[in-house]
Structure 1
C-alpha cells in the first residue's frame, strides 16, 4: 500500500529526514514516496536535481581523445578524458612527443575510477620512458588529478597535501638578438613584463663560424644541436653524446664566451638571477673550463652541461666549479633523480613534470631533494594546461625555486584556456583555488593552434581494446 505523507511522519522517521522532506517540493514527494518505503531510492529520486560536483565513488572513465596543438610554443598533444558523470579531465603530452604515447594507454583506463590516481599511475608507468617517451603516462596523470579535484570540488594542490605558497615564480628565457643593442631592448621588454628571474642560451654554437675558437668542430654540424636531420662527416652531431664529439674550446673561444656573458650581465644587472642553458656537445673537461670561466658572473645555474645519466661526470663538474649545476628535464621517475642526489653530483634538480611522472611523482622527487638540501627548479615548454599542472605541484612542494615559461611571446597563449585571466601577472602565477587544475580548454581559441592536418578530439575507438598482458612479474 502506498504510504501517505502523514503516515510517514507517524512512523519512526528521524527528525532530520522529516525536516528535509518537509522542505522538499510535494510534487517530487508524491512520486518519490511511491517507492513503498525504499528510503535510499526515495532520497535518490528526490535529490536528483540537486547540484553536486560528482559521486566520486561511482566515477568511471568512458573515453579518451586528443587534439594536437602547434606553436604553443612547440607541438603539444592535449588529452581529454571523459567520464560517466559528465566531468572532463584535461592533460597534456610533453612538447614534441607523440600523442600515441597517451592513446595506447586508453584501453588500460576505460572503466576505471580516475580518483584512484596513484593506483592507475602504478599500473601504467611501465609504459613511460625518459624524455618524450614519458609524455603519455604524465599527460594521463595530469588529467586524472584534474578529474579527482573536480569530483571532490578541491584544487589539485589540496589533494597533494596543501600548498606552501600562493604565488609561483616564473623564469623566462632571454629573447635572442643579433646585436647587444637588440638584446638590451629584449631585456627591457622582459623587465616591463615583470619577470624577476631570467635564463639565457650560450655555447659553442655561437663560436662555430669564428676562426680559432674550437678544436675538431669543422666536421660536425655544431650549430644544429637539436636538428638530427643533417649528417656531418663524423656523424650526426645532434644524436652524438657529448663526450664522443671530442670538440674542445680554445682560450680564444673561452674569452669570447666570457665577453658575451659579461656584457649580458651588465645589461641584466646582478639583482636579477640569471641562469644558462644550451652549451653544446663537448666533454667533461671542457664543461669544467667553461664553468670556471663563468664564475665571476654569479649565474644561478649551468644547465645540462653533459647528459643527465653521466652521474660521475656530473660530480666531477660540480666538485670543480663554484656555479651551481642543474639537470633533470629528461629524467622519468624518482629513482634516477635519487641516484644523482645521493651521489652529490648536482646542486639543483630540474624535472619537467610532463616527463618526470606527473604531479605526485614530481612532488615525491622534490620532497626527496628537499630532505637532502637540494632545491628544485622546474622545466616547462607547453600550453596553459600543462602549466597549471606545474603550478599545483610547485605550490605543494617546499623546495621549489622557479618554473620555466617558454611561451611568453606566443600571441594568444593565455586564451587557450578559460577560468583564469590573466594567468601570468608580473612574472608570477597565482595558485588557483578552483577544482582540479583550475582551467578548462577554450576550444574556440585552441582550434586556432590545431596542428595542420590534425583532427579535433576525433573518436579513438581503435585504442579501446587491450591486446597485451601487462604484468611485469611471474
Structure 2
C-alpha cells in the first residue's frame, strides 16, 4: 500500500519521524452528574457532568417535574465510571436503564436529553473541539433566531390579572413586534390562543366568528407594523379542532404568515395532514414529539412544512440532528422549539450549524433581563437576531455560577 511505503520512506529519511500523534493512554471517566434549577421564565434545569479529566460538561433538561430525581437517582449511578467520549453509546445505555420508565418519551427522555447535552459539552472540551465539529462540521457561520413575543408587557399584565381584557389587544402585539424587529429579529411569533374578553367554552375547541375576528385583528396589527421587515408566525398551542383551525387559517390568508404553529392537538398526524391539505398556510409542530420515531408519521404524510423538536426534550443534540436529516428527505424545514437558558440555546446553535435544512431557532426569553448574565462573557450571545457559531471547545460557553446561584430556584 502507498501509505505503508510512504511511512517506511519517511522513517528511513527522517529517523525521528513518527506518524502516530501522541495521545494520552488514560481513558476519562464520569465521576458525578448533578442538577440545579434556575428560576427563569421557565424552571431551567441545568445539568453538570463531572469527569476525572478535570472537565465539567454542562447541559440542560426541558422544564419538567421529577427530572432532577431521574438524573441523580437513576442516571448518575449508571453513568459513573463510564467514558464521557462515548456519547451515543451512553445515550442508548441511559435509554436501556430507564426502559419501561419513560425512556421512549416523557420525563425519562427529558432527563436523558439534559445529560446528553452535558456529554457533548464534556466530550468537546476533552477533545478540544466545538460540538459542531464532532457532529461533522458546520454549514453556516451564524445561526438565526426568531423571537417569541407573546404580547410584550401585556402578557405579564394578563398573568397578574391586572388588565385581563386589555392585555391581549392589538396595540400590545404591534408594540412587541416593533421592539423585536428593531433588535434585529427577522422572524417574530405571537400566541393567538389568548383571551379576547369574551366568555367562551375553550374545551369545545370551536371558536365563533367574533373570536376568530379577535385573532385576525391581532395578526393584522403585527403585520401592518412590521411590513416587509420581518416574517410573522403564530402559535395556537393545540387548542383548536380541525374545523376551527381551518376557519382561522382562511381568515389569516391575506397576511402571508411564516407558519401557523400547533393548530390542533399533537397526537394525531392524520388530522394534521388533513388540515395541511385544506389550508394554504405553512404548518409547524413538533415540540411534543419524542425522537425520530415521534416525527415519522408527520413526515411520511407530509403533514407539516416545519418540524420543531425541542432539543433538551426530544432526545438531545444527536437525536435532533437525526430528526433534521430525516426531515430533509421530505424537504421539510427544521425550526427547533426552545424555551431554555443559554445552555439549551447553544445546543440549538450547534445543531443549526450542522443541519442543511435548518431555518431558525426559537428565542423565548426576551422578558428575562438577566438571561445573558448567566454566561461568563462580556458580550451578549444574541446580536442582531443571530448567534455566531463558537469555535471554543464543547458548547462554547461557560456559566457564571454566581449568577446561577443568585437565580437558583429554592
The answer on whether the counterparts of 1:254 and 1:290 sit within 8 Å (CA) in structure 2 is: yes
2:190 to 186, 200, 209: 200
Matched, 1:82 2:14: no
What whole-Å deviation, never above 9, does each CA across 1:434-454 have from its counterpart, x for those lacking one?
A: 0011111211111111002xx
Structure 2 counterparts to residues 182-261 of structure 1, below 5 A: 182-203=172-193, 205-207=194-196, 209-210=197-198, 214=200, 217=201, 222=202, 245-261=203-219
**Within 2, Cα distance between the matches of 1:57 and 1:332?**
36
**How many residues align structurally?**
372
The answer on whether the counterparts of 1:432 and 1:438 sit within 8 Å (CA) in structure 2 is: yes
What whole-Å deviation, never above 9, does each CA across 1:41-78 have from its counterpart, x for those lacking one?
A: xxxxxxxxxxx9x848611001112111111x210111
1:333 to 276, 279, 291: 291
What whole-Å deviation, never above 9, does each CA across 1:209-263 have from its counterpart, x for those lacking one?
A: 426xx5xx1xxxx4xxxxxxxxxxxxxxxxxxxxxx3341112322332222212
| TM-score where L is the length of structure 2 | 0.85
**Within 1, Cα distance between the matches of 2:49 and 2:317?**
17
**Within 2, Cα distance between the matches of 1:280 and 1:60?**
43
The answer on whether the counterparts of 2:33 and 2:71 sit within 8 Å (CA) in structure 1 is: no
Q: Name the counterpart of 2:76.
A: 106
Q: Name the counterpart of 1:64.
A: 33
What whole-Å deviation, never above 9, does each CA across 1:390-409 have from its counterpart, x for those lacking one?
A: 11111011100010011123
Q: Name the counterpart of 2:89.
A: 119
The answer on whether the counterparts of 1:57 and 1:113 sit within 8 Å (CA) in structure 2 is: no
Find the structure with the greater CA-based Rg. 1
**Within 1, Cα distance between the matches of 2:248 and 2:173?**
22
- Segments of 4+ in structure 1 off by > 6 A? none
**Within 2, Cα distance between the matches of 1:67 and 1:283?**
39
The answer on whether the counterparts of 1:275 and 1:299 sit within 8 Å (CA) in structure 2 is: yes
RMSD value, Cα: 2.2
2:116 to 141, 144, 165: 141
1:170 to 134, 137, 145: 145
**Within 2, Cα distance between the matches of 1:337 and 1:303?**
15
Q: Secondary structure at the match of 2:222?
A: helix
Matched, 1:91 2:59: yes
The answer on whether the counterparts of 2:58 and 2:343 sit within 8 Å (CA) in structure 1 is: yes
The answer on whether the counterparts of 1:150 and 1:436 sit within 8 Å (CA) in structure 2 is: yes
The answer on whether the counterparts of 1:164 and 1:396 sit within 8 Å (CA) in structure 2 is: yes
| TM-score where L is the length of structure 1 | 0.74
1:445 to 386, 403, 407: 403
**Within 1, Cα distance between the matches of 2:378 and 2:348?**
15
Q: Secondary structure at the match of 1:361?
A: helix
**Within 2, Cα distance between the matches of 1:363 and 1:283?**
31
**Within 2, Cα distance between the matches of 1:364 and 1:185?**
38
What whole-Å deviation, never above 9, does each CA across 1:278-333 have from its counterpart, x for those lacking one?
A: 35633211111112211111111111112222011001110000101111112111
Structure 2 counterparts to residues 304-343 of structure 1, below 5 A: 304-343=262-301
**Within 2, Cα distance between the matches of 1:131 and 1:277?**
22
Q: Name the counterpart of 2:9.
A: none
Matched, 1:158 2:133: yes
The answer on whether the counterparts of 1:74 and 1:96 sit within 8 Å (CA) in structure 2 is: no
**Within 2, Cα distance between the matches of 1:55 and 1:392?**
27
Q: Secondary structure at the match of 2:34?
A: strand
Structure 2 counterparts to residues 295-444 of structure 1, below 5 A: 295-419=253-377, 421-444=379-402
Q: Name the counterpart of 1:467.
A: none
- 1:377, distance to aligned residue in structure 2 (A): 0.4
Q: Secondary structure at the match of 2:297?
A: helix
**Within 2, Cα distance between the matches of 1:84 and 1:138?**
22
The answer on whether the counterparts of 1:102 and 1:135 sit within 8 Å (CA) in structure 2 is: no
**Within 1, Cα distance between the matches of 2:238 and 2:47?**
33
